Amino acid sequence: MNKKNKVEYLIKELDNLFPEVPVPLDHKDPYTLLIAVLLSAQCTDERVNQITPKLFKRADNPFDMINLSVEEIKEIIRPCGLSPMKSKGIYGLSKIIIEKHNGLVPKTFEFLEELPGVGHKTASVVMSQAFGFPAFPVDTHIHRLMYRWGLSNGKNVKQTEKDAKRLFPSENWNKLHLQIIYYARKYSPARGWNINNDIITLKIGRKSILNKLI
């Protein structure tokens, strides 16, 4: 199966498996999504969704957020891990959003990636899920599966994103990246992975995967 056929098959099968793909992180607007995505670094979405209601009860907008101290933010988000760095990022980006963007989350990669604690992946999630801009955020799940499916060389996430954007039609990006994440969690986890349970890999990549394992 060549790459073109793999792409067509993947789009079809992922649509069958996951016709609806809600955003995994609970949020109500671009700002709360931005904060949730920042918190999700090295933390599960489930844990983030347990913490954000407590944080957003105190501050669900940048104006209220900067009325909290960095220490107060850190105590609330501590269960997410990396709380010293994340709390400084949340406070700092909230201040910049007020001072430079009139309290509104900016709608460009350039301005988003200038915010403290916001890298390209976080910016891509916000652009895609909050603003509907075609983007293909690559997390560890997508990076792993693009390699297992023989669609990228696994060198780094930057290359994986480049390959994904080259192979998949842009009109599919926003839905597809979520479908792949849902698929990875259910059928192709990093730990305890069994190729016989990985129905898509079994179909399009069994030979190449087994060769890599031998």
Cα separations in angstroms, 38 against 81, 108, 168, 183, 198: 11, 17, 26, 23, 30
For residues 103 and 63, is the Cβ–Cβ distance under 8 A? yes
3-state SS of the chain is CCHHHHHHHHHHHHHHHCCCCCCCCCCCCHHHHHHHHHHCCCCCHHHHHHHHHHHHHHCCCHHHHCCCCHHHHHHHHHHHCCHHHHHHHHHHHHHHHHHHHCCCCCCCHHHHCCCCCCCHHHHHHHHHHHCCCCCCCCCHHHHHHHHHCCCCCCCCHHHHHHHHHHHCCHHHHHHHHHHHHHHHHHHCCCCCCCHHHCHHHHHHCHHHHHHHHC
Active-site position among 121, 186, 203, 212: 121
Q: Is 139 a catalytic residue?
A: yes
Active-site position among 74, 86, 139, 198: 139
CA-to-CA distance for 116 and 102, rounded, in angstroms?
17
Q: Is 29 a catalytic residue?
A: no
Cite the active site residues: 121, 139
